[in-house]
Structure 1
């Protein structure tokens, strides 16, 4: 038992071994400030990034040194390596020569492709990120591109930037802010050259500032949608709240009035003839079938259990974000938190699934635990294997190293799976009972023929539209942050939107469950899950709209990662919101059948 506890402790420590926030480094006059190069890639494809020295830049004379990275940084595709740039604290430099490169045709082809595809590079100075472009593309005057007889005119000129200037702000003995710029006058035309001797240079200027060290990351928050889009955020919140209040209020009014009439109808009858008339139609007629447990019970319980786990994980991440734990470029802390919380909340999935399975009469609890374990991890593993293979073929930093894959597997084997099993054991030993308000009949009642708009798919479309309408405005900002170069920092607004999503999903699922029972369709169990999770279908449909209408992403590699991982995100949303829909419907169904006398 002691060895098992030790292994768990090691696994959890590995989980939590994310890089610390920027260390409070203090420098002396003339002390070297390290510059780490991270990655390069096309600006339009944020996932398609390559190691910095995949391009023939100047190498450090003393050899390359790779920085140790945390789990979150590796998952983000960061690969930090030392550079030949020499920055001395508070010492300016003018046109310092980095190196002179004799570029052959292959080197020039690499640079040409990089400039044509609008490659950018990212570096870190004292944990502060900076960006710059490899070169620029200019349209030469003289008519249509490629037209014969016009010589150099009408074509594109590819220019490689050869000079970088660093503007560094400091406060006493600390680095506060870094800006980078290129000199447009110091470029090399690489449009058609076969060979070139290129001298790469750089300059540095140091300036004092009164900005406090604690506020040095505020600059990067400005890369978010603030302040110009803050009003749009709040407008979207108000718009969502008003829309939700009006629509849910409208549905609530109808539902409560109908239910009130139903209760009067079913509880105030005075004679047998009136009772017979009251029971001819309506939801009371299916009281003997409404608590008949659903088919595929094992899968159903696993869906509810896994969805509950994802909901708890989301709430934990929101809690951390509202406490100010996550800020721009803090070493992938949010991705690390996702891995940590998913692993540590696995016991919730095991317990909820096994307890529900036991209450509903299930006996094969081992099968239930295995289903719960693989329900989300299985498809995620399959998707990851495909995407990691694509990234490996392309040679991008999105391909996880073997060591990182081993760490994730160890985390799953020593934390996630054992906790799921422990939760499953606790769930199967629960003493709780279902205690249905109505006795279930021996044989199921036949469901009458229903019109097409009451079938599962149309009901799912109706159920998903209202929650999606409450969040679609905020989706753009989330997509622009995750799949672009914007920064999202207003987690309070996002949390409000998330709560609205949960409330609306619960309410619309309750309404559709009532309308389903009112037409004597008692198979509401799976329908509540499908309708609750249907918002995920609209989110995935929005993915296609964003790809084609709102972004410049292109290529097989970027498309694979975008649509592949968004499919998994939407699948997680489906499980989470499906469990919310079921819980809300179960509470509602219990309430209305307790309120009347069914026997």
Structure 2
């Protein structure tokens, strides 16, 4: 047992992983999709979507009623017409991307101080929609050479510059006289593209690569414009472009001819036919920048995360301390205690065997030939001696208590084992997916330049990991004594994926009603169903057939009795199911608590950003698995010592108990950190959080179940060996 919980070995492995993580955390494959351009070569500018931190609803940029629609024109040197969408991978579709060729012209090295794009005529209804999106803080994502257009910032000490992907479509201001909000549209965009000489031979031939894409916004009113539609002076803008149309129901022009007073628009004015013309212009500037390497051009988007590296290291140190302390407890207490219990059981068994050999025959028994029959008094004395021997046997076995008394019941099949087996199979499937994604991300294969790659790879791993799901489900089901393995295969293939797909489909109905790009297209849903039915289900069948028929059940070291043992009454409060699950789940949650803050910030607040420190996350994940294993072992040992043999389901729920605390953390994060408004956005947040917690709970529950099973087999196998 001591070898299983050797603290020094665990810490040595963790240190090794930390060293690897420190190298790989900011690494992605250099030279991946390097694209160079020559002078005067056209570069496509793609528009994607708009999104906000205050809502979970995203929209395709060209679906907005107040922006310039694509003209369908052809630009020299570009393969697509404006308005044509580019092909997307599955991950891009699932994350709500809708990437389209724009009308904005970019030519390498050619500055353009001002270009008129269009004059968009919008109605009051469109104006209302624009004001709502400005109020919610929507930002737009444009793409040049696979880089998202960024708003630049500097740190407080002005020593570093960093980017935030996207740019705001407008802003609001408060009128001091009335305290009302006034909304303005950013209708002029200054595009700054930084480039440098291409590496290698391509650079020697005059090739250049894009290393930064910055967008600066400005709101410019309709007045003081040239004949081509451009403003007279972009540096001195007197009047911004306000999203407002004077109500027709009341004419204040005579009362306030020079006033900025804005009366409220009533609902009666929505369909009065009034319109507003919004002119859109843009500027393009090219700047050579030799300070930014192409292989590190994404680093500008993660300067703010690099500054938090100390906190990441604090999270790892916190996790190591918790896991190390728990390892020491398991090694020092459990190992010694179990060894002592096994020694006591062995001594009692030996003493019982010796006592049986010393027993004398009772009165009435056949005496050996040649011996005389004892008198009645001697017979009574012999009976008293035999009774004394039996009493001594009972005293010898008095010390055999607790988990050692459960050898005939500890491997009794659990209730609803036909559900537990598919859950364990699904958990193994998710473990394979999680470690596959962490491994590829830490190596840099899944990097920010591979747009949608993380989600696409996750879906692919999940589908093909169905063979692991079927194998473990079939083998656990056979171990529980199940007979209908085909039924178990069907449950395994449909339980978790089916419930997941049903929930996503129901959520999609709400999102479809909002015309959001977050909704999955119907064709994508059909494709996912085909992946599930045509690839994953057959793989689950193959894995289940091999695990159930070819490999078979795990052999148990002890035999199960015909009649179950009666459970003792008055169990301690801390071993009760709900209390023990919640208490045991606190420890793994404490391991990941700090790192959760960065994961949540990347998912829910910095939707335009990317979680980049997968090296740290990988280390924390390894420590988390060790912690869950140790917590489950301690909890199940205490349960067995209380002479309760119903540990199968308990080990699964103890392993996944931290998922309850993660969901509580989601609620706290929603109430304190987020500013989500609207029923649909709140529904999406809690639904996606619930799905994530279920996935996390299945994964960790499977780790707890398999660890507890190995532990129970080990200790009862030691009894049999002795």
Name the counterpart of 2:49. 39
User: 1:278 is paired with a residue of what secondary structure?
Assistant: coil
In structure 2, C-alpha distance between the alignment counterparts of 1:512 and 1:367, rounded to whole Å: 32
Q: How far apart are 1:475 and its partner, in Å?
A: 0.5
Distance 1:573 1:104, change over 3 A: closer
In structure 2, C-alpha distance between the alignment counterparts of 1:403 and 1:101, rounded to whole Å: 32
Q: How far apart are 1:359 and its partner, in Å?
A: 3.2
Q: How many residues align?
A: 566
Distance 1:540 1:589, change over 3 A: same
In structure 2, C-alpha distance between the alignment counterparts of 1:597 and 1:33, rounded to whole Å: 74
In structure 2, C-alpha distance between the alignment counterparts of 1:88 and 1:181, rounded to whole Å: 19
In structure 2, C-alpha distance between the alignment counterparts of 1:597 and 1:403, rounded to whole Å: 59
Name the counterpart of 2:262. none
Name the counterpart of 2:286. 206
Instruction: Confirm or deny: 8 A CA contact 2:241 2:278 kept in the other structure.
Output: yes
Moved more, 261-270 or 346-355: 261-270
In structure 2, C-alpha distance between the alignment counterparts of 1:547 and 1:141, rounded to whole Å: 32
User: 1:595 is paired with a residue of what secondary structure?
Assistant: helix
Give the structure with higher Rg (CA).
2
Instruction: Confirm or deny: 8 A CA contact 2:61 2:140 kept in the other structure.
Output: no
In structure 1, C-alpha distance between the alignment counterparts of 2:573 and 2:547, rounded to whole Å: 39
Q: 1:573 aligns with which of 684, 690, 696?
A: 696
In structure 1, C-alpha distance between the alignment counterparts of 2:709 and 2:578, rounded to whole Å: 21
Instruction: Confirm or deny: 8 A CA contact 1:163 1:201 kept in the other structure.
Output: yes
Instruction: Confirm or deny: 8 A CA contact 2:656 2:698 kept in the other structure.
Output: yes
> Within 5 Å, which residues of 2 pair with 1:133-144?
133-142=168-177
Q: 2:241 aligns with which of 155, 164, 188?
A: 188
In structure 2, C-alpha distance between the alignment counterparts of 1:589 and 1:62, rounded to whole Å: 69
> Within 5 Å, which residues of 2 pair with 1:322-337?
322-328=442-448, 330-337=450-457
Q: How far apart are 1:431 and its partner, in Å?
A: 4.2
Name the counterpart of 2:669. 546
Distance 1:446 1:155, change over 3 A: same
Instruction: Confirm or deny: 8 A CA contact 1:51 1:396 kept in the other structure.
Output: no
Q: 1:453 aligns with which of 574, 577, 584?
A: 574
In structure 1, C-alpha distance between the alignment counterparts of 2:119 and 2:433, rounded to whole Å: 52
Task: Please state if 1:289 is matched with 2:409.
Answer: yes
Distance 1:393 1:433, change over 3 A: closer
Task: Please state if 1:513 is matched with 2:636.
Answer: yes
Instruction: Confirm or deny: 8 A CA contact 2:48 2:141 kept in the other structure.
Output: yes
Distance 1:104 1:596, change over 3 A: closer
Task: Please state if 1:168 is matched with 2:193.
Answer: yes
Gaps spanning 5+ residues in structure 1: where? 1-20, 143-152
Q: 2:135 aligns with which of 96, 104, 116?
A: 116
Name the counterpart of 1:388. 508
Distance 1:510 1:43, change over 3 A: closer
Q: How far apart are 1:32 and its partner, in Å?
A: 1.9
Instruction: Confirm or deny: 8 A CA contact 1:267 1:597 kept in the other structure.
Output: no
Gaps spanning 5+ residues in structure 2: where? 1-30, 74-82, 150-165, 198-207, 220-236, 247-273, 353-392
TM-score, normalised via structure 1 length: 0.90
In structure 1, C-alpha distance between the alignment counterparts of 2:432 and 2:505, rounded to whole Å: 27
> Within 5 Å, which residues of 2 pair with 1:200-279?
200-210=280-290, 211-222=292-303, 225-226=305-306, 228-269=307-348, 270-271=351-352, 272-279=393-400
Name the counterpart of 1:156. 181
Task: Please state if 1:534 is matched with 2:657.
Answer: yes
Task: Please state if 1:106 is matched with 2:130.
Answer: no
> Within 5 Å, which residues of 2 pair with 1:42-53?
42-53=52-63
Moved more, 116-125 or 345-354: 116-125
Name the counterpart of 1:16. none
Instruction: Confirm or deny: 8 A CA contact 2:402 2:643 kept in the other structure.
Output: yes
Q: 1:132 aligns with which of 138, 163, 167?
A: 167
Q: 2:709 aligns with which of 582, 586, 596?
A: 586
> Within 5 Å, which residues of 2 pair with 1:10-21?
none
In structure 1, C-alpha distance between the alignment counterparts of 2:601 and 2:341, rounded to whole Å: 48
In structure 2, C-alpha distance between the alignment counterparts of 1:45 and 1:500, rounded to whole Å: 34
Instruction: Confirm or deny: 8 A CA contact 1:355 1:430 kept in the other structure.
Output: no
Task: Please state if 1:411 is matched with 2:531.
Answer: yes
TM-score, normalised via structure 2 length: 0.75
Moved more, 266-275 or 167-176: 266-275
Q: How far apart are 1:162 and its partner, in Å?
A: 1.6
Name the counterpart of 2:591. 470
Q: How far apart are 1:274 and its partner, in Å?
A: 3.7
Distance 1:590 1:43, change over 3 A: closer
Moved more, 123-132 or 257-266: 257-266
Q: How far apart are 1:542 and its partner, in Å?
A: 1.0
Name the counterpart of 1:356. 476
Task: Please state if 1:503 is matched with 2:626.
Answer: yes
Instruction: Confirm or deny: 8 A CA contact 1:453 1:459 kept in the other structure.
Output: yes
User: 1:429 is paired with a residue of what secondary structure?
Assistant: helix
Q: How far apart are 1:23 and its partner, in Å?
A: 3.8
> Within 5 Å, which residues of 2 pair with 1:483-494?
483-485=604-606, 486-494=609-617
In structure 2, C-alpha distance between the alignment counterparts of 1:516 and 1:526, rounded to whole Å: 12
User: 1:170 is paired with a residue of what secondary structure?
Assistant: strand
Q: How far apart are 1:597 and its partner, in Å?
A: 4.7
In structure 1, C-alpha distance between the alignment counterparts of 2:115 and 2:218, rounded to whole Å: 14
Q: 1:67 aligns with which of 79, 86, 91?
A: 86
Distance 1:100 1:191, change over 3 A: closer
Instruction: Confirm or deny: 8 A CA contact 2:475 2:554 kept in the other structure.
Output: no
Residues 337-376 of structure 1: per-residue CA shift (max 9 Å, x gap): 1110001110011111112222332110111001111121
User: 1:29 is paired with a residue of what secondary structure?
Assistant: coil
Instruction: Confirm or deny: 8 A CA contact 1:51 1:397 kept in the other structure.
Output: no
